[in-house]
Chains A and B, each alone.
Chain A
Amino acid sequence: MKERYDVVVIGAGPGGLAAAISAKKEGAESVLIIDRDKEPGGILNQCIHNGFGVEIFKEDLPGPAYAERFINEAESVGVEFLLDSMVLDITPSKKVYVTSKWFGFKEIEATSIILAMGARERTRAQIRIPGFRPVGVYTAGTAQRFVNIEGFMPGKRFVILGSGDIGMIMARRLTLEGAKVERVLEIMPHLTGLTRNYVQCLQDFNIPLQLSHTVNRILGKNRVEAIESVQVDEHFNPIKGTEEIIPADTLLLSVGLIPENELSKKVGVKIDPLIQGPFVDEEMQTSVPGIFAAGNVVHIFDLVDWVTDAGITAGKGAARYVKVVKEKGDFVKLVPGNNIHHIVPQYIKRDALINGPVKLMMRVVKPIEEKVWVEVSDGQNLITRKLERYVRPAEMVTLTIPQKAYDDVRKTKELIVSVERFGG
């Protein structure tokens, strides 16, 4: 494994795989995908039902088969994988901190990063279901992993809350495994998943769907013993007198997905509060230059084929970004040196100073409560510096590279910005 890559993709699900392949095909020389799981493919690996690839391949594939095509292609075009490994942090200067049982704790440098972390499921607390907290309340995805990957049944008698696709598909899957699915409850007055899933997963298996119904209470202290359902009015308020106790040992929640953007937020990517995903441009570039987003991390797609499409767009964007940065002679990289956390911009055009001085904005790592030099060098020679009375992480530091440094900047590959002692 290398220390630096043109493109690092976080997440090996359909979005990440498509982005990595497309980045590589568009000319990025080195592409690495990092994933938490032991196998690439993401959630597709536990989606053993069909319905994948109808748009892209004109074929109706199960999830693992769809993933396999992309995994094979990624390998054949030379994408590298780092699996069973988790990214803890990324920085605006494109450092990626990753930890793994197999490779230890690593710092990898990237020119461009593609966020492809997917989504997480909404949980019980987010919809505030009262009652005890027994075992037997699972998100549909967790149950799906137990059944399809681990080979275990998390219950025998189920109630499913939510008529989303995962919920309905699990209703069929559990029935095929010999479990009894008592009911699918949906708080909305209409179905929230695809009609084809309603027909193929519920109707074909005689599983009742109750619209405008929700879970009122969970009964059972150690293990779920029953679910109390209730009808709701048009404002989603429970209608008194419509409560019904449904004996069951398990409640599956299929109540929506939320794009998983903790890493994105930490690096300063602006998030659209409406959809919980990053604001992106037509290339899927986020508000942090060089950081792109692919798949459900942006917003929740209906079909995996569309996730793949969005991944391809992000991969192209990342490759173009790398190309612009790397076109030798064109750009000079700004490297955070001593006590510098990050610098914006990360790159300047080699002849940028022709048009005037260039202003740099940066933050320091640690506060220094005394006079310091903030300086720019080419690694050996000082190019410009500025005296500051103190530096603090909370206060942005600026420094302008003057026009007269034109010749120095043209000669160098990179500029190092650092904070040095006043006496030094």
Chain B
Amino acid sequence: MEKFDVIVIGAGVVGAMIARTLSRYELNVAVIEKESDVCMGTTAANTAIIHAGYDPLPGTLKAELNVRGNKLWDQLAFELGIPFKRTGDYVVAIDSNEFNKLEELYNRGKLNGVIGLEILGRDEVLSRLPYINKDVGGAMFASTGGIIDPFQAALAPMENAVVNGVKLFLETSFEDFIFDGKRIVGIKTNKGDFLCSWVINAAGLYADTVMHKANLHPEFKITPRKGEYYIFDRNEFAISEVLFPVPTEISKGIMVTTTVHGNTIIGPNSHEVPDKEDTSNTVEGLDEVFKGASKLVPQIANSMKHVIAIFAGLRATGNARTPNPNIDYHHDFLIEVNKDIGLVNVAGIESPGLASSPAIAERVIELLKDSGLKLKEKKDFNPIRSPRPRFKDMSNEERAKLVSKNPSYGRIICRCEYVTEGEILDEIHAPVPARTYDAIKRRTWLGTGRCQGAFDTPRVVEILSKELGISPLEVTKKGDDSYFLLRKTKEV
């Protein structure tokens, strides 16, 4: 049986970043993921922000890794060919009461080492953000804040890792560890046993149950915190800034922000839920988000008819104490190595996990190195992942050239987002293949426009069926039993 040097559990953004970093070295690495695609959990449903780092308490792991992670994104986005915009972000104080809290945030940012912070008075904010609530008291502007496509931010490093030799096993769920009495020598999964020397637990919402299987941290618990969102039709209602309210103890608050695709997004609220799979929208939650966002931008109240999607995501909130003994904070990232058994835990990675993920990967490699894992750099590691053609973003001249080279780029499948057959074929046959409708959607942004897949779905089912060599009845939306079609007609 093949033996791996390292197995990473979980292919979210954290697992993907770790896998890519490991792929720089001469190691035999596997990633296992229980879902049908990478990044279907927390990574696929969040606010898509690369935080500047002024929010976490100074001295926490969150603060350190957020600021470091933020710095790493320019180089990463360049190497991985993904859109990343350093838009800067605003923390908007609605009245003078809130304005007083900005100073605290500013000082916290300074202590964390965030550069480019600026406190703006009411008039300056009104001139920069003319649509803001007229009761605005002022704002803090952080020039290093940014936005990214969170799915691309995780898919691209995973793809790059696969190209550099990492083996990815989808629909493979962790069941238990295999011990040789003392140390982990492998894992049991629904697809059989995998042998290995090290395991990295990056299981997101399930990182607690994974570590409990190794009898570690029985007191550690991950509580899902749900956040709900609305997305607007960019042709009808769009702002191009990233706006936070003044944060509270438990949350950064309900934002009004923009995506790299140009859609305005509002959310999230923040409520603990008992179920780690509960990504359902609720009437109360949607109402709360609407009210919170309208407080920042009142005109949202008149733009709700331009909402094109609603969704909810879960944050993996942990209860780990900050390693620094001088700080009494119990929701920090848990990143640690257990050298004796051969396990690295990366848990409780809630916000700002996306921003921090490159720095988390660095930290994990350091821990492994300090624990004796031999890291010899690969001579042929290729850090570059070239972006694939995106018809929508091209000039007419570029389009003409692309279509003349490959006619399938001339056939539009998604008419709202201008996604072509060629792009869909590319994704189905990519290093991390898209094998479901949602996998294609997350990669190409197909079906995310005003008609929400009403026109493209039958065509995508046809293409997936043909390319994967399966019946249309076997094509799914997101794996498991999510079949689009249940039988042929004329069969009753």
Interface residues on B, range: 35 or more
Query: Shortest Cβ distance from A187 into chain B, in angstroms?
Result: 15
- Interface pair A142/B403, CB less than 8 Å apart: no
- Interface pair B410/A105, CB less than 8 Å apart: yes
CA distance in complex: A141, B279 (Å): 27
- Interface pair A125/B492, CB less than 8 Å apart: no
Query: Shortest Cβ distance from B461 into chain A, in angstroms?
Result: 8
- Interface pair A104/B411, CB less than 8 Å apart: no
- Interface pair B486/A153, CB less than 8 Å apart: yes
- Interface pair A128/B483, CB less than 8 Å apart: no
Considering only CB atoms, which chain A residue lies closest to B236 in the complex? A265
Of the candidates B308, B455, B489, the one whose C-beta lies within 8 Å of that of A153 is B489
A131-139, A316-324, A398-406 - interface stretch: A131-139
- Interface pair B309/A125, CB less than 8 Å apart: yes
Query: Shortest Cβ distance from A192 into chain B, in angstroms?
Result: 18
- Interface pair A147/B308, CB less than 8 Å apart: no
Query: Shortest Cβ distance from A122 into chain B, in angstroms?
Result: 9
Name the residue among B277, B310, B491 with the largest chain A CB count within 10 angstroms. B310
B103 at the interface (CB under 8 A from A): no
Chain B, residues 334-375, CB within 8 Å of chain A (1/0): the string is 000000000000000000000000000000000000000000
B399 at the interface (CB under 8 A from A): yes
Interface residues on A, range: 35 or more
Within 8 A of A (CB), among B441-490: 450-455, 457-458, 461-462, 472-473, 476-478, 480-490
CA distance in complex: A142, B477 (Å): 15
Considering only CB atoms, which chain B residue lies closest to A121 in the complex? B454
> Given that A147-B489, A153-B488 are contacting pairs, would A135 and B454 also be in contact in the complex, using a CB cutoff of 8 Å?
no
CA distance in complex: A101, B311 (Å): 34
Within 8 A of B (CB), among A15-41: 36
- Interface pair B404/A104, CB less than 8 Å apart: yes
Considering only CB atoms, which chain B residue lies closest to A265 in the complex? B235
Task: Tell me the dominant secondary structure on chain B's binding face.
Answer: mixed
Considering only CB atoms, which chain A residue lies closest to B277 in the complex? A221
Of the candidates B415, B420, B462, the one whose C-beta lies within 8 Å of that of A150 is B462
- Interface pair A155/B308, CB less than 8 Å apart: no
> Given that A86-B412, A130-B280, A177-B489 are contacting pairs, would A139 and B454 also be in contact in the complex, using a CB cutoff of 8 Å?
yes
- Interface pair B400/A104, CB less than 8 Å apart: yes
> Given that A104-B407, A147-B489 are contacting pairs, would A130 and B454 also be in contact in the complex, using a CB cutoff of 8 Å?
no
- Interface pair A126/B487, CB less than 8 Å apart: no
Of the candidates B235, B411, B476, B492, the one whose C-beta lies within 8 Å of that of A84 is B411
Of the candidates A100, A121, A153, A222, the one whose C-beta lies within 8 Å of that of B411 is A100
B418 at the interface (CB under 8 A from A): yes
- Interface pair A154/B399, CB less than 8 Å apart: no
> Given that A222-B478, A222-B480, A262-B235 are contacting pairs, would A101 and B485 also be in contact in the complex, using a CB cutoff of 8 Å?
no
Q: Which residues of A contact B403 (CB under 8 A)?
A: 99, 104-105
- Interface pair B451/A123, CB less than 8 Å apart: yes
A145 at the interface (CB under 8 A from B): yes
- Interface pair A145/B458, CB less than 8 Å apart: yes
- Interface pair A222/B235, CB less than 8 Å apart: no
Query: Shortest Cβ distance from B109 into chain A, in angstroms?
Result: 36
Q: Which residues of A contact B407 (CB under 8 A)?
A: 101-102, 104
B5 at the interface (CB under 8 A from A): no
B305 at the interface (CB under 8 A from A): yes
- Interface pair B410/A222, CB less than 8 Å apart: no
- Interface pair A36/B412, CB less than 8 Å apart: yes
CA distance in complex: A8, B464 (Å): 34
- Interface pair A126/B305, CB less than 8 Å apart: yes
A178 at the interface (CB under 8 A from B): yes
- Interface pair A88/B418, CB less than 8 Å apart: yes
- Interface pair B399/A125, CB less than 8 Å apart: no
- Interface pair B454/A123, CB less than 8 Å apart: yes
Interface residues of B (CB under 8 A from A): 230-231, 235, 277, 279-283, 285-286, 305, 307-311, 396, 399-400, 402-404, 407-408, 410-412, 415-416, 418, 420-421, 450-455, 457-458, 461-462, 472-473, 476-478, 480-492
Interface residues of A (CB under 8 A from B): 36, 84, 86, 88-89, 97, 99-105, 107, 120-121, 123-126, 128, 130-135, 138-139, 141-142, 145-147, 149-156, 177-178, 217, 221-223, 249, 262, 265
